Chains A and B, each alone.
Chain A
Amino acid sequence: MTDLPVLLVLLPLVGAVVAALAPARRTVAITVAVAQLGLAVTAAVTVLRDGPVDTAPGGWDPPLGIALRLDGLAAGVGLLVGVVVLAVFVHAAITPSAAGSRSYWSLALVTVAGLQAVLVAADLFTVYVALELMTVGAVALVALGGQKALAPALRYLLVAVLGSFAFLVAVALVYAQTGVLTLDIAAADLPQGAALATTLALVTVGLGIKTALFPLHAWLPGAHAAAPTAVSPLLSALVVKGAFVVLLRVWAALGGDAGLATVVGVLATAAVVWGGVAALRQTHLKRLVAYSTVAQVGYFFLLVPLATAGLAAGASAAEVEVARLAWQGAILMLLSHGLAKAAMFLTAGTLSAAVGSGEVDGLRGIAAKAPTTVLTFAVAGVCLAGLPPSLAFVGKWQLMDAALTTGAWWVVVTLLVGGLLTAAATARVVMVTMRPADEEDEVASEPAASAGRTATSAPAASATATATGPAASEVVVSEPSTTEPAPGAGRAVGAWETWPAIVLTIVAVATGVGSAWLAELVTVGSVVAP
């Protein structure tokens, strides 16, 4: 099974090449996504059973050759990637307008390849090239959103590449000091001092830009909101995570720095509060969802100050235990965020397209016409807010546990406040959708009521997968609303259109119910492994 790391990277690339040339793009892409998910599952099982998979392509052993390492973190996030990509691809196949362009498929596969390479690379320069591949793919996908998406895409590109350059300087610094590029070997050789601190600072800043950590987040809301519906989930749920994983790996390998960790902790708290408040104030639906990503990124970074004591060499067993709890908590939240945010963006895109307007206020009354979609949006929001029984709740619980053990009360407060803000933002949107439309619209929506739609008050599409079959068609006869300044009339919500998002929320909740294996998986092969 030493082929797994390489296969995970090369398969999407092969798919991208074929999709760029062949006419049957969607089929190719979905086939590759299915295969990729299969590989991810195999990888997770292998890692759980046998431990991390180390391999060195090219036949040269590290440090001369490139080291690839499929550890628990890579396997866990790889699973997330597999599930989300498949769901998003299916959505884009069902709803062609969500993809934005026929070049979507090959560019998305390229981005996935970059993401996988980021996850399995244990060599610093390979990580750099992989980050660039991911960024170029992501920027290209944003740019598919039309004329209005070009400026955010350019901004994203310039800022993200700047972050990559910062990372590259850090790599050069490590090489200057140690003479090797393999992270683990270099970390053993890097003494405490200016070089180590500068490396960590550069890596944190460079990757902080890519993860949109406050205050380096300014590029994110514009880019994620302007991107096509089938692109925003990939960006928020996946690309942002790739950079975070690298940051975590480097911190874990180099042992972290207490001072810098404190700074990161402050910024993380600011991110949660700032992002949450900003999300509440947004009038544009997708920007609201994007700002909530900024807040959630803060959650992940809370791991850094909590775990730094345990990551340092010579940490006590208790400190390592705390670090492990924090690690598990943050990663579980990361995985849950990936699933829930993807579902949220997909449903947001569906709703916006159904009413023909991107504004939150334009969604008035849509709950009656597309109840399943609104419900999925609501459940996804619940998962994001970290309410039981979602996976995020489990993660949040563990983070709080770690925080209480070290006496970091501010983390607990931050987590609770963040959850409240996210819940409030979701509730605000859902309440708008349920607000009855104005009188003029009541008359217009009468014919819709008789169009044979089945009122699918699906009992928590979250609990049972057998909820509603194909009969749950929500046919919306969309009348151009006279009160809305909609640029164009909305369109019907397709019968199957919300199903990818529903599946994602189901997974987010199901893994919350049974998360022990996942928690175990993500620590395999890491510094904090038991």
Chain B
Amino acid sequence: MSWETVLDVLLATSVLGVAVATLFAPRRTSSVMLFLVLGLLLVLVWTRLGAPDVALAEAAIASGVTGALLVSALTRRSAAGSAETPRGGWRSAAAELAVAGTGGVLLGGVLVGAARDGLRPDRLGDLALDVDGVVDQPVTTVLLDLRALDTLLEVAVLAAAVLAALAVHREGESSIGIRSDTRPVLVSFVRLTTPVVLLLTGWFLVAGSSRPGGAFQAGAVLAGAALLLLLTGRKDLVPTGRWLRPAVVLGLAVFLAAAVLTRLVEGGWLDLPASWGVAVVLVVETALVVSIAAGLTVLVALSRPRYVDATTSTETLGGAAPSDPPRRQTEELT
């Protein structure tokens, strides 16, 4: 039994345990917190399986921004009000576990069997590794060179979700309140980390052509910075208002433009030529970073609860401690 096997078994057991705990936790808040733990564990799993891009995306998006979404959607009222025990008690939970467990094991068996059967030299992955694309990094090659249309559609999904969120939100109140928190420690933290985050964004973007990274991770990290700025009241540094919608659709628009351009010049939709394909990739990725950042920021901002009265709630999720001078302003994010 090697160290690696022990590690694998340990990781797998932890993931399973935390997943079950996440799903069956008695309260909403516990469920969300455990989900964050699950995310961290998954980052380890991805690293163990040799998928650094996915690990970065997991940390930044699947665990990072999703965690922010979930936590911001919790309110004091709903968190307390949903202290539920599973309906029917332990018996129904056990039944669900049994059904899911059995089904999962069966499905897992089929999958493992298929994986063993399917080992052959000319799988798509091997072909993709040998391909001579415009960028060196294989995952980026797959995303933007080989299967660019899929990526375009995926960007459309994100844009559609953000536009939908804006549309649904508009039907109600005309603005949302992001209570800004101007505690000195937080402000200093943001002031220090924002330049670092911007640097990280640029790094992910540029390095994505030759090593793990890429537009999605960069966009998520940038969204984090934008949210921190918004939360500490620096709305002036975050493009909102009439630049919001253009920012959200920019990625999709540039991608579509690249498709038309390559069609006209190269004769094939999204056909990247060897000479200036890298430039196309970089331009598209930059636009994607802007869109993804804008989109994720909007989604997190819109899932925050509506703060009705700042003075009545003494202790709210994300609010300041009662002893602080009440310097709260509601910012508008149109």
Contact = CB atoms under 8 A, between A and B. Distances in A.
Interface-central residue, A13, A14, A101, A178, by most chain B CB under 10 Å:
A13
A189 B166 CA distance: 45
A195 B114 contact: yes
A17 B252 contact: yes
Contacts of A9: 149, 153
A526 interface: no
Interface in B260-313: 260, 263, 266, 268-272
B94 interface: no
A66 B145 CA distance: 11
A529 interface: no
B252 to A, nearest CB: 6
A183 interface: no
A195 B108 CA distance: 11
B79 interface: no
Contact of B270 (A21, A57, A178, A198): A57
B117 interface: yes
Given A66-B150, A103-B163, A195 B168 contact: no
A147 B237 CA distance: 34
A504 interface: no
Interface majority SS (helix, strand, loop, mixed), chain A: helix
A143 B271 CA distance: 37
B107 A64 contact: no
A58 B269 contact: yes
Interface residues of A, number: 54
Interface string A183-208: 00000000000110010000000000
Interface string B147-187: 11110111011011101101110110000000000000000
B245 interface: yes
Contact of A195 (B110, B124, B159, B260): B110
B110 to A, nearest CB: 5
A58 B123 contact: no
A139 B164 contact: yes
Interface in B102-121: 107, 110-111, 113-115, 117-118, 120
Contacts of B117: 177, 195
B259 interface: yes
Contact of B120 (A132, A136, A179): A179
A59 B152 CA distance: 15
Contacts of B114: 173, 176-177, 195
Interface stretch (A43-51, A123-131, A283-291, A338-346): A123-131
Interface-central residue, B115, B131, B153, B246, by most chain A CB under 10 Å:
B153
A177 B149 contact: no
Given A58-B271, A64-B131, A180 B113 contact: no
B163 A101 contact: no
Interface residues of B, number: 53
A129 B113 CA distance: 26
A179 B118 contact: yes
A3 B270 CA distance: 12
Contacts of B127: 63-64
A198 B110 contact: yes
Interface string B128-141: 10010000000000
Nearest to B168: A143
B163 A195 contact: no
A28 interface: no
A198 B112 CA distance: 13
Given A60-B145, A64-B128, A129-B150, 13 more contacts: A6-B263, A10-B260, A13-B156, A58-B268, A58-B269, A59-B266, A63-B127, A65-B147, A107-B163, A114-B153, A150-B168, A176-B115, A180-B123
Interface of B: 107, 110-111, 113-115, 117-118, 120, 122-125, 127-128, 131, 145-150, 152-154, 156-157, 159-161, 163-164, 166-168, 170-171, 245-246, 248-249, 252-253, 256, 259-260, 263, 266, 268-272
